[in-house]
Structure 1
């Protein structure tokens, strides 16, 4: 199966370097996307540019790809399901949830000079980063790509109710499936509350399992594809 891998904020396609070969060994055709503004040198990219890049990858697939979104990019994966509900076979969301229509994509930290840089590890103390040692944190921070303000402040637009028919698998790293279900029941994740087919799976990692548990993550993506 074609599997499109979309990393979250500050990441480019290299974030999946250890996941891609593991998925290939399992018989898949993974494609790790480098998004506009996150690895192509652009600082003027917009959310629409990133959505277009994901849709171009979906359209380029000869079949019905599995679209994997990590963290904030869970929204990008869901926007792909909204725009191509008959083409996306399933959406996998790792450590995140889709934003609602009319809300900002990822306006989490203040931008500087038109971009939102990685804010440092104090913002991710606790379960998010507990499985990253100091050297891994140093490498991550030095490679982190500031995300254009046109992306982070872009407004999410969802239009096709058929997106709710697309199956979803939520891979839960720093939170448990039970907690995720509580959030949905409490109305904090409206898009998943309306989705008709949602499954949950746990992974023993922090927020970035593609770095700390790549083979286990690949196995869980493989199981989601099956």
Structure 2
């Protein structure tokens, strides 16, 4: 009797949201690797501390950077996107749907159009007073919050106000998990049914969504890294389980 060899989990690519670089995922990357899952995090164009000409970085630049990482993977990866990265992440699933094993949206959703077309200027620096008034900070330590403030990099303005064209309906079939932290899954679905919410618009398009509630801050990679990594690892294992071993 022959036995098939165990299928390795899909590799994982992690993309942080506004103001953050790859460092934001350090704890999750470590947890995933300890669990036997290949993982790497990206710093998108314009979001390294020494980035020059940040005002020239476009949404297409972010889409291209994520696509390059996806296409460089030896096997179709799980693409994990957080917060504002839901827009370029969804665009990549439109450009190369066959190269993505699954999508994971961490307290975000597949965005359609521009995040905020009203944003002016070349850069959008972190406004701590505004952010702390509007975002869920549950479970974040004072040290983590200070690190965030110290390491935050201005977001390229064009990335916030530009949209990209989506044209391949195959993106609708990409298996998708939405990890709900600041809001519950029920609230996400309720808000997605409303018109005019660009960051949630893609939810109505997708045909294969798994909803996961993980009540915590908008930055669960810091407030609940182990549990978030476990969710992502499960997606990576399940993504490969149904794929043919060519």
Task: Tell me the TM-score normalized by structure 2.
Answer: 0.84
CA contact (8 A) 2:183 2:215 kept: no
- The 1:119/1:127 distance shift into structure 2, 3 A limit, reads closer
- The 1:147/1:122 distance shift into structure 2, 3 A limit, reads closer
Alpha-carbon shift at residue 126 of structure 1 (Å) = 6.4
Q: Distance in 2 between matches of 1:167 and 1:144?
A: 31
Alpha-carbon shift at residue 194 of structure 1 (Å) = 1.8
| Map of 2:125 onto structure 1 | 117
Bigger radius of gyration: 2
Unaligned runs of at least 5 residues, structure 2: 1-9, 239-246
Unaligned runs of at least 5 residues, structure 1: none
CA contact (8 A) 1:38 1:146 kept: yes
CA contact (8 A) 1:72 1:106 kept: no
| Map of 2:201 onto structure 1 | 190
| Map of 2:137 onto structure 1 | 129
Is 2:47 aligned against 1:35? no
For residues 6-155 of structure 1, what are the structure 2 equivalents within 5 Å? 6-39=15-48, 41-42=51-52, 43=54, 44-100=56-112, 103-106=113-116, 110-111=119-120, 114-125=122-133, 128-155=136-163
CA contact (8 A) 1:105 1:156 kept: no
Q: Distance in 1 between matches of 2:115 and 2:133?
A: 23
CA contact (8 A) 1:19 1:217 kept: yes
* CA RMSD of superposed structures (Å): 1.8
CA contact (8 A) 2:216 2:223 kept: yes
Count of equivalent residues: 222
Deviates more, 1:150-159 or 1:182-191: 182-191
CA deviation vs aligned residue, 1:41-68 (integer Å, no higher than 9, x gap):
1312111111111000011011111000
- The 1:175/1:194 distance shift into structure 2, 3 A limit, reads same
Task: Tell me the TM-score normalized by structure 1.
Answer: 0.91
| Map of 1:165 onto structure 2 | 173
Q: Tell me which protein shows more helix as a share of its residues.
A: 2
Q: Distance in 1 between matches of 2:134 and 2:69?
A: 35
Q: Distance in 1 between matches of 2:221 and 2:76?
A: 23
- The 1:122/1:151 distance shift into structure 2, 3 A limit, reads closer
- The 1:121/1:215 distance shift into structure 2, 3 A limit, reads farther
